[in-house]
Structure 1
Amino acid sequence: MNLIRSLTLRQLQIFVIASRLPSFARAAEELHLTQPAVSMQIRQLEEAIGMPLFERIARRLTLTEAGERLSHHASRILGEIKDAEDTMSSLAQADSGTIAVSIVSSATYFAPKLLALYSKQFPKVDVHFSVGNRETLLRLLQDNATDLAIMGRPPPELGTTAEPLAYHPHVIIAPVTHPLRNARRFDLQELAGDTFLLREPGSGTRAVTEHTFRQHLFTPARCVTLGSNETIKQAVMAGMGVSLISLHTLALELRTGEIALLDVNGTPVERTWQIVHLSSKQLSPTCVMFRRFLLEHAEPFLEQEYAKLMQPLSSATARRGRSAKREEKVERG
């Protein structure tokens, strides 16, 4: 017996309705079918199973033992299908489901707050996010192990779709005792005698720092590589050196006055947060909605959180930096 090939869902639907009613005539009324049509479907189902499902006792249809057992299984099957239908409908409406998001470590200082805002609006969506440096995120994207990534600009050869989320300034920080703390618009060469604290190779922050050094033809007296933004900040506060780092990692230290921003020509270094996914990936409706949420909310959120922290730097540079994302959108358009 191969029921999968023999019976149909329509037969199961008709059988379940008929099993609850005293006659095929009543079942036909509820199903908006003719009585012969109902009888034919039940007969075909009985032939597929090889046993009678109904018997007539005192002019009333009653289930046989086989009918009783099939009724239980048929109801479960139809219930599972209804659950699947509801799940697919929810996904199509983008109000439930699962999303895998990967973020670079510099984004951990603001991304969880945005995820919390999103979760309040869409409590049924389960967002899983992982953290790594830029190199790790590129590998996750390449392996199709993540839906979306929040990072800097990905390499074009990876075949990704990227759209700017928000302006992402990088600034030079120093101990509060640094002699140039209150100096205005001085050249990077003035820091040639300082120790520069760098992120590890493969980090987006490391790439920005090295690009800035090349752009200014700058070589620091000494470099020390450290493995995280937190370690760099602690080392700067301890007086070990200076560093070029994302402004978005510095909210607490700048508010408490534990770290100084240096007003170096060419800073803030203008970069942009990107929301990235593989071009070949078909995003689910839930992912599309989440991506749209980030595109709408990330820039206003970061502006509100970090605008005051930019005040130690020249207002002209800050204004130019904050317009970077908008200019990039115009160029892309």
Structure 2
Amino acid sequence: MAYSFSQLLNRLSFRQLQVFITVYQLRGYSKAAEKLGLTQPAVSSQIRHLEQVLEQPLFEYIGKKLYVTSAGEQVAGFVKSMFADLEDMQSTLSEMTGSVSGILDLAAVSTAQYVVPHLLVGFLRQYPRVRVKLTVVNRSKAIAILDENLNDLVIMGMVPEDRLLSVMPFLDNELIPVVHAGHVLAGQPIVKHEDFFLLPMLVREPGSGTRHAVEAFCSEQKISINPLMELGSNAAVKHGVLAGLGVAVMPRLSVQLELEKGILHQLSMDGFPLRRSWNTVYPRNKHLSPAAEAFLSYIELNIPSIKEHFENLYKI
């Protein structure tokens, strides 16, 4: 039976549409449940109810893979447009009242987790009604987030060049060679590349931006490296260096306290620090939430003071 428009309004809910568009974007019930904080049966129930109201199947499984039906594609287009209009309404009303609220959904590569808190302090002081959700990932996952248009913004260093993205550089990311304080190289005023890179190296996992930058440098210099161990976080690499397992190239901010305390030592080596930019990144045609727009505006207006803040942190 076909429902009239008024009946449709009575039977539909924004929650159903939110669940639908999340399943559509992530192509999976369990992934949508995790993102929305629901159980998988609850997601399935919402989709089933929506399909009953619309009298159309929206998704179908072929084997173990979820596919969107032609009706589902049509519904997705209308729902995206509807949600974009709602965001415009929220933004307009927020501007009228002089406030911005809502959730700022950020993803940051693991090395940027040391940067983001410093950005948020001033931002949240200016926009106290904004709530922040921060997901820490490696570079390959960050690229997947951009491809799937999941979070509001991604903060990353090495931005893929083969995608249509809006990119705003805002801070240098310095990568430095480090050894433990008692290492034989720690007493040398200048260290040669071959003396450092032939040592057992502690490296991040494939897909890490830091590893990518180091491998690119070594390739340019025609230097071979000697990876001893792959580790899944900067904290693990740092503690490996502290324990004397090997040497590493690390983001300066991730070892700042250890450098200040004198338990790690930064080597002086030609070509270092490697300098990359931290960037805010999002798909070029993405419709940003008011909170995301406010965050971008805050960073853009405060780039000089942000740089000064981190330069002061770098002083040892």
Q: TM-score, normalised by structure 2?
A: 0.67
Task: Tell me which residue corresponds to 2:176.
Answer: 171
1:209 aligns with 2:207: no
Q: Which has the larger radius of gyration?
A: 1
Task: Tell me which residue corresponds to 2:269.
Answer: 264
Deviation at 1:259, TM superposition (A): 0.6
Write the distance in 2 (CA, Å) between the matches of 1:252 and 1:274. 24
Where do 1:43-62 residues align within 5 Å? none
Deviation at 1:223, TM superposition (A): 3.0
1:218 aligns with 2:223: yes
Task: Tell me which residue corresponds to 1:237.
Answer: 242
**Kept in 2: contact 1:94–1:286 (CA 8 A):** no
Deviation at 1:171, TM superposition (A): 0.3
Write the distance in 2 (CA, Å) between the matches of 1:295 and 1:87. 19
Task: Tell me which residue corresponds to 1:107.
Answer: 112
Q: Which amino acid aligns with 1:258?
A: I
Against the structure 1 CA distance between its residues 302 and 234, is the aligned structure 2 distance closer, same or farther, given a 3 Å change threshold? farther
2:100 to 81, 95, 100: 95
Q: Which amino acid aligns with 1:89?
A: L
1:141 aligns with 2:146: yes
Write the distance in 1 (CA, Å) between the matches of 2:226 and 2:204. 17
Where do 1:25-104 residues align within 5 Å? 89-90=93-94, 93=98, 95-104=100-109
1:123 aligns with 2:134: no
**Kept in 2: contact 1:150–1:274 (CA 8 A):** yes
1:196 to 193, 196, 201: 201
Q: TM-score, normalised by structure 1?
A: 0.64
Deviation at 1:85, TM superposition (A): 7.2
Moved more, 256-265 or 189-198: 189-198
- Write the deviation string for residues 137-156 of structure 1: whole angstroms up to 9, x where unpaired: 11111111111111013212
- Write the deviation string for residues 268-311 of structure 1: whole angstroms up to 9, x where unpaired: 01111111010010223332221121233355335434446366
Task: Tell me which residue corresponds to 2:72.
Answer: none
Against the structure 1 CA distance between its residues 218 and 85, is the aligned structure 2 distance closer, same or farther, given a 3 Å change threshold? closer
**Kept in 2: contact 1:118–1:293 (CA 8 A):** yes
Write the distance in 2 (CA, Å) between the matches of 1:210 and 1:85. 47
Q: Which runs of 5 or more structure 2 residues have no equivalent in the other structure?
A: 8-87
Alignment size in residue pairs: 232
**Kept in 1: contact 2:170–2:278 (CA 8 A):** yes
